[in-house]
Structure 1
């Protein structure tokens, strides 16, 4: 190895830190430990027998296709089914509005790669998802936290921060929000609050990243509209994943956005992994 590894490292990697969550997971095997370090569903809920049957069927009928390189945008049939599912939920979407990623964590990294230059500002909830913060930090973002109450992030504090940046001749690259069952606060943003924050996004011309992995984990109460469906102007990029609604090891996610935005994400993804497995 070279004598001074640190001198050869990029500014980006020097700014990265190990994930606090992933480090905690090392201790999962400790005898007698009941871990709350991650959102681990019971393995008893995993549809193992169904998956065996499906995988055997795929290997018998579609092995050559399944094991070959695929499109960077993701499998066309999967995209079609996800779009159909959203439309059935009342969320208008076309195939051109959705691509597949290696879970939503890759989507966060690709969005950070697409938008953030070192020193740029990003607005996040206070507190917010560590995986998202790590992705933004790895590209040198300056993060501004917006406190939340039981309806979500406070729009008055948000506008005050936007005005401060505006006075400096700056604006944030995006707002990162988890409107449904926010991680780690657990808050679901009210429809009124979603509208207020969307209006601020329009007023200050800022993108919103709507991270939506938990939306379907609702057992009671009324499902809120996504900010993506409330928008209609292309200001919102919505992320989804099977990790929370199927199995965490099933690393398949997606990004829904305006086609022009997805085109740039695809370019970034091609340089990362060519295509999702």
Structure 2
């Protein structure tokens, strides 16, 4: 059989047939780590998997039973491309906890908030367009934007999140060069990967900058209800309806396996989101929506969120305590909610190059490079505290400290002798899957 790439040397015979936009698809460093991190002897501080074991089995089982017994013909049938009206009504109650006031018609249910993000990219991004995002930013968002042949331009962050002045300077520079900025993508509460939270005044400043520049803001908020001591500032969507598309999900406050998220958007965008949703999946899963709707209607879901907060607070405290004990000379963020700590390494250490040594020491993390479109983040690590037990977190940080201190010793030896031990480079080349090697 003759294929479009049969004359070439690429191992994929269909290489020449793919759309140009597939060049933006690449393996996620986080996903590639799962093969390594899933080994039982490895302490994984890499993936942001919710601790679903904290959800009582009977709560889920009861919701599933009622969904099948009482609403089976609806739950197992096709549904609306906008989502179940009953669930959309309940989503309004969830969002009201963060100050959002909307109508049922404003909400579009999606197959996880990741799907909503892809729909936004499909609606807005042409090749060569620009998405402004925090630097660092959510790894899969960057992948999605690049897959639509957009350029991701990062704006620096500090321990209070996105810097408004840097955002203004970036917009001015891009507009002066004739670039088309389609939207600003931000995770303002308990940021992934940095764990920091944007203060209210900065939220207002960023919204004003976007308003003056006539740029849409996409507010991604998976973690906003998972605070430890006090709630974060209200959502940006709470004060700006026309210029903000808000993304939410039940993956962090209920269960990711059900794959239900949502978007709240201005009217015109909402209508296009519904059409794009129908074109992509026809309708989000009626069964998953019915299960979640039953859970919200009958269970103490607010109390369950409190339970998750306690679980994650304990794990956060274990990680911060272990970092202070084993790596006191380094710097890291102190999250007040969410899943992540951002660890800053000495500038001459490379977190991606160091990863094979970490795997050998039976600890996994996500290198900072995963969260940048431009190769940044080499001297940073994202540490996830959501899934391992506190004891495993402490042991993982101890092992990580051994790795970091060992790398510093190697660099000291290199400074003195001008060469590294031969086995070091071999280890770095052989211990990881190809997509992160």
Larger Cα Rg: Structure 1 or Structure 2?
A: 2
TM-score, normalised via structure 1 length: 0.95
1:89 Cα deviation from its structure 2 partner: 4.9
Distance 2:138 2:97 in 1: 29
1:171 Cα deviation from its structure 2 partner: 3.5
Structure 1 equivalent of residue 275 of structure 2: 267
Deviations 1:219-273 (A, max 9, x none): 11343011101213x1000000011111222210000111211111111111111
Distance 1:119 1:89 in 2: 35
Structure 2 equivalent of residue 54 of structure 1: 63
More helix by share: 2
> Does 2:174 align with 1:165?
yes
Distance 1:29 1:165 in 2: 42
> Does 2:73 align with 1:64?
yes
Distance 1:156 1:257 in 2: 26
- What aligned pairs does 1:238-253 form with structure 2 within 5 A after superposition? 238-253=246-261
> Does 2:238 align with 1:229?
yes
1:88 Cα deviation from its structure 2 partner: 5.9
Moved over 6 A (4+): none
> Does 2:116 align with 1:107?
yes
Q: What residue ranges of structure 1 are gaps of 5+ in the alignment?
A: none
Structure 2 equivalent of residue 131 of structure 1: 140
Asked if the contact 1:119–1:141 (Cα under 8 Å) also holds between the matched residues in 2, the reply is yes
Provide the alpha-carbon RMSD of the alignment.
1.5
Distance 1:246 1:43 in 2: 8
Distance 1:192 1:8 in 2: 49
Asked if the contact 1:162–1:171 (Cα under 8 Å) also holds between the matched residues in 2, the reply is no
Deviations 1:19-51 (A, max 9, x none): 222221223431311111212233421332221
Distance 2:274 2:180 in 1: 25
Structure 1 equivalent of residue 17 of structure 2: 8
Find 2:195's aligned residue among 163, 175, 186: 186
1:113 Cα deviation from its structure 2 partner: 0.5
> Does 2:35 align with 1:26?
yes
SS of residue paired to 1:271: helix
CA spacing shift, 1:60–1:222, aligned 2, 3 Å: closer
SS of residue paired to 1:59: helix
Structure 2 equivalent of residue 199 of structure 1: 208
Distance 1:212 1:270 in 2: 23
Distance 1:270 1:46 in 2: 32
Find 2:149's aligned residue among 140, 143, 155: 140
1:138 Cα deviation from its structure 2 partner: 0.6
1:90 Cα deviation from its structure 2 partner: 3.5
Q: How many residues align?
A: 276
Asked if the contact 2:98–2:235 (Cα under 8 Å) also holds between the matched residues in 1, the reply is no
Structure 1 equivalent of residue 219 of structure 2: 210
Structure 2 equivalent of residue 255 of structure 1: 263
SS of residue paired to 2:83: coil
CA spacing shift, 1:152–1:106, aligned 2, 3 Å: same
Q: What residue ranges of structure 2 are gaps of 5+ in the alignment?
A: 7-12, 286-437
TM-score, normalised via structure 2 length: 0.61
Bigger mean CA deviation after superposition, 169-178 or 110-119 = 169-178
CA spacing shift, 1:193–1:266, aligned 2, 3 Å: same
Distance 2:215 2:119 in 1: 18
Asked if the contact 1:238–1:257 (Cα under 8 Å) also holds between the matched residues in 2, the reply is yes
